[in-house]
Amino acid sequence: MRSLISILDLSVEEIDELIAVANDIIDNPKKYAEKCHGKKLATLFFEPSTRTRLSFEAAMYELGGNVLGFSEAQSSSAAKGESVADTVRTVSCYADIIAMRHPKEGAPLVASMKATVPIINAGDGGHNHPTQTLTDLLTIQREKGRLNNLTVGFCGDLKFGRTVHSLIEALSRYTGIKIILISPDELKLPSYVKQDVLKKHNIEYVQTTDLEAVMPELDILYMTRVQRERFFNEEDYLRLKDSYILTPEKLKTAKSDLAILHPLPRVNEIAVAIDDDPRACYFRQVLNGKFVRMALILKLLEENS
Amino acid sequence: MNIDSIKNGVVIDHIKAGEGMKIYHFLNLDKQDCTVAIIKNATSKQMGRKDIIKVDSFIDLNALGYIDPNITINVIKDGVRVEKYHPELPAKIINVVRCKNPRCITTTEQELPHVFKLTDAENQVYRCIYCETKADK
């Protein structure tokens, strides 16, 4: 059974193919309106999420399919102590494909070992979030017209930010990528990501704490939120949450075709005044997320049919 | 000091001095009813000092490469050494070490096996298959 647990489950060719299908969906939505007629997507969200769950549900509806599921662990049998394995075995009887979010790292992998339908990892704690990475890649491709020869800045929480780790892994497979890591010392990219991904693939990278100093170099600026839920210690969260706030002043030295991405939700790390700047791509990014999830649902259902 | 030679079993040689008891427990030799001899701080030309374990039985040594691939395993049959090898790094180890990441699914789903796979043979790095946390030796 083909599932998507990590972005590395997909080859570069498969990612390019998903991006191509997503672009075709954007151009020809009617062609896809009945592709999933009679199919059901189960959204099993053991952790709250607005964007990802609604994006999956909207994606399935736009493919002509139906959706069932739950949006928090308390409204599922997990509250009674049911294991992930038993939950997905049960839901496999009702649905053709499952999108799962879980606070524990590795839960979707466990699900994929037991389910009889494809599992899409919709986020497992601070670990993987492959459909966000697909969203980011589609957005970069649409905004810049390419996925190679780019200088990409990641700013904010690079330690716990799963979207950052996954996107770095995905971009490391393209050529001409330079990564600039901008974070406070306490939230630096973990050394294993640097060792296993950047050094392994000979990716040029720079670490800095100074966003404004590197701003003129950037083709892409990927902003992140410092996530309260990833900290065991509230004091550390409060000390670090306002480390980087992107304002119009800080953008003065940026390229005119810079693309600013953010996985959202935003708290205050991007000033609202930037939203109307054409370089702000984060709401277009949300829309792209729906289209690439449509492409993914189609691919997994077709491969497993 | 004399220790009887074994007739059928294995001699685990070139164990780093002081690591013998760790391997004794790792191989669950305390739960076996065969004869086991642990020699500590034996003189070694190669290593200066080393530990040796002699086991008068054929036991599963599959995961020993995870502990130290430089160990030498001698297989003895009818009092004669018939095989000598270094254990390979196993591709996967199951229920040998536990994942220490408090966010890993294995912390809440107790029945799951703790599985680590070899991700970097050069540096002998094993990672949890669920959360990719590095195994602590």
3-state secondary structure (DSSP) of residue B85: strand
DSSP per position, B103-128: TBGGGT-TTS--EEEEEETTTTEEEE
Picking from A115-119, B63-67, B86-90, which range would have the lowest pLDDT averaged per residue?
B63-67
- Find all residues with CB under 8 Å of A28, minimum gap 6, and list them: none
Q: Identify the pLDDT of residue B126.
A: 94
pLDDT at A96 over 80: yes
Q: Identify the pLDDT of residue A225.
A: 87
Condensed to tens digits (0 to 9), the pLDDT of residues A3-41 reads: 999 999 999 999 999 999 999 999 999 999 999 999 999
Q: What CATH number has the domain spanning B9-85?
A: 3.30.70.140
Domain segments of chain A as ranges: 7-128+289-304, 131-285
pLDDT at A163 over 60: yes
Q: For residue B67, give Cα distances in angstroms to A197, B10, B137.
A: 26, 17, 7
Q: Identify the pLDDT of residue B2.
A: 53
DSSP code for B1: -
> Would you call B57 an interface residue with chain A, using a CB distance cutoff of 8 Å?
no
User: Chain B partners of A83 at a C-beta cutoff of 8 Å?
Assistant: 109, 111
- Locate the chain A residue with the closest alpha carbon to B105: A104
- Find all residues with CB under 8 Å of A80, minimum gap 6, and list them: none
Reading the block at residue A264, the tokens are: 């959202």
Domain segments of chain B as ranges: 9-85, 92-128
- Residues A85, B109: C-beta atoms closer than 8 Å: yes
Higher pLDDT, B111 or A18: A18
3-state secondary structure (DSSP) of residue A66: strand
Higher pLDDT, A81 or A280: A280
pLDDT band, residue A63 (cuts 50/70/90): very high
pLDDT band, residue B123 (cuts 50/70/90): confident
Q: Identify the pLDDT of residue B4.
A: 64
How would you classify the pairing of strands B72-77 and B9-16? antiparallel
Q: Chain A interface residues facing chain B, Cβ-Cβ under 8 Å?
A: 83-85, 102-107, 109-110, 124-127, 192, 196
First to last CA, chain A: 10
CB-nearest partner of A104 from B103, B111, B134: B103
ipTM above 0.85 for this complex: yes
CB-nearest partner of A110 from B101, B105, B132: B105
- Residues A105, B108: C-beta atoms closer than 8 Å: no
Question: How much of chain B, in percent, has pLDDT values that exceed 70?
Answer: 97
Gap between the Cα atoms of B124 and B55, Å rounded? 26
pLDDT at A231 over 90: no
> Would you call B101 an interface residue with chain A, using a CB distance cutoff of 8 Å?
yes
Average pLDDT of chain A, as a whole number = 93
Q: Identify the pLDDT of residue A189.
A: 92
pLDDT band, residue A72 (cuts 50/70/90): confident
**Taking the CA of residue B34 as centre, how many other CA atoms within 13 Å lie in the half-sphere pointing to its CB?**
19
CATH class of A7-128+289-304: alpha beta
Mean pLDDT of A51-62: 97
pLDDT at A229 over 80: no
CB-nearest partner of B130 from A85, A105, A126: A105
Common-topology check for domains A7-128+289-304 and A131-285: yes
- Find all residues with CB under 8 Å of A95, minimum gap 6, and list them: A40, A41, A42, A68, A117
* Residue B18: Cβ within 10 Å count: 12
- Token pair 């196993």 is found at B90
Beta strands across the sheet bearing B9-16: B36-44, B48-55, B9-16, B72-77, B80-85
CATH class of A131-285: alpha beta
Reading the block at residue A43, the tokens are: 């959204």
Gap between the Cα atoms of A46 and B87, Å rounded? 43
Picking from A278-282, B122-126, B128-132, which range would have the lowest pLDDT averaged per residue?
B122-126
Condensed to tens digits (0 to 9), the pLDDT of residues B1-51 reads: 455 678 899 999 999 999 999 999 888 898 888 899 999 999 998 899 999
